[in-house]
Structure 1
Amino acid sequence: MTKFSQYNFRDEINESLKDIGFDEPTEVQEAVISLINKRKDIIVQSETGSGKTHAFLLPIMNAITPDQQVQTVIATPSRELAYQIYNDTKDILKNFSSEYQASIFVGGADRDRQKKKLSSSQPQIVIGTPGRIWDLIRDNYLRVDTASRFVVDEADMTLDMGFLDDVEHISSKMPDTVEMMVFSATIPQKLEPFLKKYMNAPKKVEIKTGSVTAKNVENWLISTKGKDKNKLIYQLLTIGSPYLALIFANTKSSVDDIHSYLRGQGLKVAKIHGGLTPRERKRVMKQIENMEYQYVVATDLAARGIDITGISHVINAEIPDDLDFFIHRVGRTGRNKLSGIAITLYRPGEENKIDAIEKLGIMFAPKDLRKDEIVDVQERDRRQNRNASQEKLEPKLVGFVKKQKNKKKPGYKKKIKQAITTERKRKTRINNRQEAKQDRVRRKENNNHR
């Protein structure tokens, strides 16, 4: 079994690893550290929570020198993730002399103060969001022409959030010999042109776990059956007594609604989404880290950029349109080999979304809430209900199908299939509108009783 002591890291790093309790490298760290030491361009695809951050931090910090110039730039798409990497860096730097510095540059922070700091000295390690890093480079305050390493963390999220142009601008100001490292949970096809343009014969590392989520995470599936979703979430939280629960919704308004309801029931609950100011988000994150909150409601911003220790439960209040987000949400729990429970709620008419998630390799355990108790239910219930709903066609559509079958003209089967698909989509839209209307009515009633 490999130990960190076998890597011949400098004494300062070994002391820091001992202080934070790191003894053995994870699979991705074992695969990547030696490649970075050999100055290879790398593309690393590994699941959330696999230890990617220290996979690049440790060899980078082992090689930095006291020279007061930028040696490494680490770009990440969210402020929260930038602060997480910055804090991890400081944990390792604490046994180094004061000559070694890391600085964080993110949007929302005082730009003038950052410029003043850079005017006096350049840090060896730069960590930040692509937009702010590029602003400081463009204004000639941050010098990256001396950098020998460039890390793009959460590359797929960088692409999704529209920061890839800023990353390209940053790359263009670096030496041609810069060692580039790209880390991501997924490698979208749209990212390929960037990788080909800026990377030199990169070594690809893909850590396959055999499962898209950690084996120590239970995935529960619960149908709302038209019930009040907020009330259902409240019951799940109060029945299970989670150590720390993270509830995900797709939009800021949904987060606000769930947050407001849970607070109205007397729970101390935090919320995180893009509508909060940077200062508010930083304050809330600090409170969560200090265990001032047991429940957190968030958008997918949190799923891809925040590493909160000790999350025992994840609740998907809504199924995300992008199923990659589902994987990242569930990846918030079950970390560091601890057990976790991920609960996914789905509405009538969303059975196809569940099927799509199952095709990713997720194994759901169907559950139901009965008399304030979570009980097992048969998987066939959902499939039979889905099949039954698919077989019940409108009389008008039944007549159309019969007519097409009698005619048996070329392509008639395709026409029948298209007509049935269109009808099902129409029914799903109607069900979704009715569900949304019922949610609005319930919210109004709840507000009137507060």
Structure 2
Amino acid sequence: MAFETFKFQPFIYQALKESGFKKPTEVQERLIPLIQKGRNVIGQSQTGSGKTHTFLLPLIDQIATDKNEVQVVVTAPSRELAEQIYQVAKQIVAFAPEEIRVSKFVGGTDKKRQLEQLNYQQPQLVIGTPGRILDMVKENALLIHKSKSFVVDEADMTLDLGFLPEVDQIAAKFSDKIQMLVFSATIPEKLRPFLKKYVTYPVIEEIKPKKLLAETIENWLVSTKGKDKNQLIYQLLTIGQPYLAVVFANTKERVNEISDFLQNQGLKVAKIHGDIPARQRKRVMRQIHHLEYQYVVATDLAARGIDIEGISHVINAELPYDLDFFIHRVGRTGRNQLKGTAITLYDPSDERAISSLEKMGIEFEPKEIKRGEIVDTYDRNRRKKREKTSEELDPEMIGYVKKQKKKVKPGYKKKIKQEINKSNQEKRKLERRRQQRAARKEKKNSNR
């Protein structure tokens, strides 16, 4: 499928050409036609799937430039995400033959100036954080009641950060005919009452990634047992000579600790977390985009907010509390067919979490540092894989094995061996059949 299938206005294709987008992603193929028809949509897809363009392209295409009123409202749970969506929107509308007014409303910006601008003129497309948008609505400055479409981006993160009540109040300002578009990586149970309340007769599309991690990403696992974690992070950063590396930690305190250590080692490090003032965070983000920093240390908030070209390395200083965030973190690298390296540090207490990620289909390459180089090392499960424990045998076979250990006649030993071999052959045959069924199923799904 080509973008021309959607029959956008010519300026949309000019914007796409400048961005280098040649064909739509799966989420765009499936959802853009529905959005164009005015349907309510709940789109569940992972980060990096192209969902920002999925809603911006058709909604900007339908904006009536002759109307001085808000027609589309988009909320994002963080200032960084709002800024990211805003920049994409500005790039698209720059090619429009007539001006399309796009305004951004986030905390930490000049509220008085925004109120003055709204008294003069209303934007046609509003992008911002729930708190500031609601604030401007309550001031009777931002008039959103005539809007045709409302987009809630990263709804699960909106819920996690406690902004769903504000989104609820914004949604209550629209007419019953509002088109609701909700995008989320996951649909938590606590989000469902909001969806039931506002999203009537939705089309629910779950776009499952073909692979959880891009093929361009090398996914390494490094044990921290008996090692200084901060020193290990420093070694990994300086051995690999990254173009741009992001280190993720779970708490603001841990981010501060890692960044302080790295700075004391002589590295120029940027840090991003919720306690850093908005103006400073914005300045740091701009400096990162301009490659004034080679190293960034951040909390998970930034995993959904950083969209920087050319991140070559991601290091998980610790596994995220919510394993879904592992995908968001690692997904910052290996984008646009560029190679990337993701490195996860773990100690024995993380075994259950690592196993859960492997069950999700994520494969790790075990690595370690030896003589100043990153080299392959043994699989942490090597003993389990090598041992042929009696628990793997059928109860009947366990009996045979026990008897084999005793002093028995040579002919009986031979019989035991034959029975064990027969059992193992049967298991291998069943496993081959299972793999063939799985392959047929995967082929069938890929042809849909």
TM-score category of the 2 structures, normalised to the smaller one: 0.7 to 0.9
For 2:133 and 2:90, how far apart are their aligned partners in 1? 19
Equivalent position SS for 1:350: helix
Distance 1:166 1:137, change over 3 A: same
Please name the residue that 1:160 is paired with. Answer: 160
For 2:243 and 2:24, how far apart are their aligned partners in 1? 27
Equivalent position SS for 2:348: coil
For 2:149 and 2:380, how far apart are their aligned partners in 1? 53
Aligned AA (2:13): N
Displacement of 1:308 in angstroms is: 1.4
Displacement of 1:53 in angstroms is: 0.3
For 2:370 and 2:303, how far apart are their aligned partners in 1? 30
Equivalent position SS for 2:23: coil
Displacement of 1:380 in angstroms is: 4.1
Aligned AA (2:19): I
For 2:279 and 2:243, how far apart are their aligned partners in 1? 26
Please name the residue that 1:426 is paired with. Answer: none
Displacement of 1:97 in angstroms is: 4.5
Please name the residue that 2:54 is paired with. Answer: 55
Deviation per residue, 1:160-198 (Å, 9 max, x gap): 001111111000000110000011111112111111110
For 1:308 and 1:189, how far apart are their aligned partners in 2? 32
Deviation per residue, 1:337-361 (Å, 9 max, x gap): 3222111001232222222222222
Scaled by the length of structure 1, the TM-score of the pair is: 0.83
Distance 1:329 1:240, change over 3 A: same
Please name the residue that 2:313 is paired with. Answer: 313
For 1:189 and 1:111, how far apart are their aligned partners in 2? 35
Please name the residue that 2:348 is paired with. Answer: 348
Displacement of 1:326 in angstroms is: 1.4
Please name the residue that 1:181 is paired with. Answer: 181
For 1:314 and 1:195, how far apart are their aligned partners in 2? 34
For 1:110 and 1:357, how far apart are their aligned partners in 2? 43
Bigger mean CA deviation after superposition, 2-11 or 25-34: 2-11
Count, aligned residues: 385
For 1:381 and 1:99, how far apart are their aligned partners in 2? 60
Larger radius of gyration: 2
Aligned AA (1:243): Y
Scaled by the length of structure 2, the TM-score of the pair is: 0.83
Deviation per residue, 1:274-322 (Å, 9 max, x gap): 1110001000000111111111100011012221111111100011111
Displacement of 1:364 in angstroms is: 1.1
Please say if residues 93 and 99 of structure 2, whose CA atoms lie closer than 8 Å, have aligned partners that are also in contact: no
For 1:31 and 1:97, how far apart are their aligned partners in 2? 28
Aligned AA (1:55): T
Please name the residue that 1:246 is paired with. Answer: 246
Please name the residue that 2:91 is paired with. Answer: 91
Aligned AA (1:159): L
Please name the residue that 1:172 is paired with. Answer: 172
Please say if residues 11 and 97 of structure 2, whose CA atoms lie closer than 8 Å, have aligned partners that are also in contact: no
For 2:258 and 2:331, how far apart are their aligned partners in 1? 22
Equivalent position SS for 2:304: helix
Q: Are 1:201 and 2:208 matched, yes or no?
A: no
Q: Are 1:227 and 2:194 matched, yes or no?
A: no
Alignment of 1:25-424 (within 5 A): 25-66=24-65, 67-97=67-97, 99-380=99-380
For 1:34 and 1:383, how far apart are their aligned partners in 2? 52
Percent of aligned pairs with the same residue? 59
Please say if residues 74 and 150 of structure 1, whose CA atoms lie closer than 8 Å, have aligned partners that are also in contact: yes
Please name the residue that 1:12 is paired with. Answer: 11
Displacement of 1:263 in angstroms is: 1.3
Name stretches of at least 5 consecutive residues in structure 2 with no aligned partner: 388-448
Please say if residues 312 and 341 of structure 1, whose CA atoms lie closer than 8 Å, have aligned partners that are also in contact: yes
Deviation per residue, 1:206-249 (Å, 9 max, x gap): 11123322232221111111211111111111111112111001
Distance 1:83 1:38, change over 3 A: same
Please name the residue that 1:417 is paired with. Answer: none
Please say if residues 226 and 347 of structure 1, whose CA atoms lie closer than 8 Å, have aligned partners that are also in contact: no
